[in-house]
Structure 1
């Protein structure tokens, strides 16, 4: 249940401290078939290197990292707000890497992360958010329920972990 999950913003120290747990979530998602920029084999080294880079981006103020933890303090989900954009887009941010561990899915974790992301984006002075997701996936319904507007689909935009092409649907949200 969502009341069993706490969502918080991770500062640079917290992001660094969570690298191993974040790597576990990423590996679980890729091994589960998610198209989230990585192809198998999703090694621990590759996942850890990615999250170290994210932690460095948090330290530089280029991104915001939100993490969701269960009642036992285990990291079960994450999402990022990318804020380092061109100077003519100070009002905008990109949403990236919405990931929920398979053991925590269908419990409202993603909804909680997206609601917290809206709050953080407002705090950061962002009024336009943009994201993309696999066409036909569960995330499309999540974003639509959360008030996101579909822009369109680009066929064959990316690859699924099995090597098959997938379309990508782009969304925006005005805050």
Structure 2
């Protein structure tokens, strides 16, 4: 990652005040065809409602929200979440969700930086295992493999792309050393 951006944790009150900026990142990624749980066209109101739920989850301690920002402008360039609010028989693990990087900010190391920060946040929360899923054959899949994530397997037709086409999904895990 270059020095023009920084990654940091965002609290619930700041997330609330930056709903519009967070929604813009999500809208950009869905417009680009990212399969991140939303269908195209994604309305801004729906994207903003999603981020309000995220902010509530941060306030409840159920998730960590990390953002990558341009140091000069403060513009949010990317984001990732660490989901901590899992069933009581899984206190050792967390899910990584919604790793998003604006099209204009890709290929600068932000995705890798966000993923490293997510692992650090999970370790800080006492987690020793992370899991995630991504579109099979995507740039994200290659990124996760390069960062040492272990590929579990592929579920054919697991999700839909924003245009409605089915896509295969690859599942990964990453063991985290304690401490």
Q: TM-score range by the shorter chain?
A: over 0.9
How far, CA to CA, are the matches of 1:151 and 1:35 in structure 2? 19
Q: CA deviation at 1:16?
A: 1.0
1:1-175 map, 5 Å: 2-71=2-71, 72-175=73-176
TM-score, normalised via structure 1 length? 0.98
Number of residue pairs matched? 175
Q: CA deviation at 1:118?
A: 1.1
How far, CA to CA, are the matches of 1:129 and 1:136 in structure 2? 20
Quick check: 1:96–1:131 contact (8 Å CA) kept in 2?
Answer: yes
Superposed CA deviations along residues 21-71 of structure 1, whole A, max 9, x for unmatched, are 110000000011111000011111000000000000000000000001012
Q: CA deviation at 1:158?
A: 0.6
Give the CA RMSD over aligned residues.
Answer: 0.8
- 2:168 is paired with a residue whose SS is strand
Q: CA deviation at 1:2?
A: 2.3
How far, CA to CA, are the matches of 1:42 and 1:99 in structure 2? 15
Structure 1 moving runs of 4+ over 2 Å? none
- 2:3 is paired with a residue whose SS is helix
TM-score, normalised via structure 2 length? 0.96
How far, CA to CA, are the matches of 1:16 and 1:160 in structure 2? 28
What are the ranges of 5 or more consecutive residues in structure 1 without an aligned counterpart? none
Superposed CA deviations along residues 87-139 of structure 1, whole A, max 9, x for unmatched, are 11111000000000111001111011011111111100000000000000000
What are the ranges of 5 or more consecutive residues in structure 2 without an aligned counterpart? none
Quick check: 1:2–1:112 contact (8 Å CA) kept in 2?
Answer: no
How far, CA to CA, are the matches of 1:77 and 1:83 in structure 2? 20
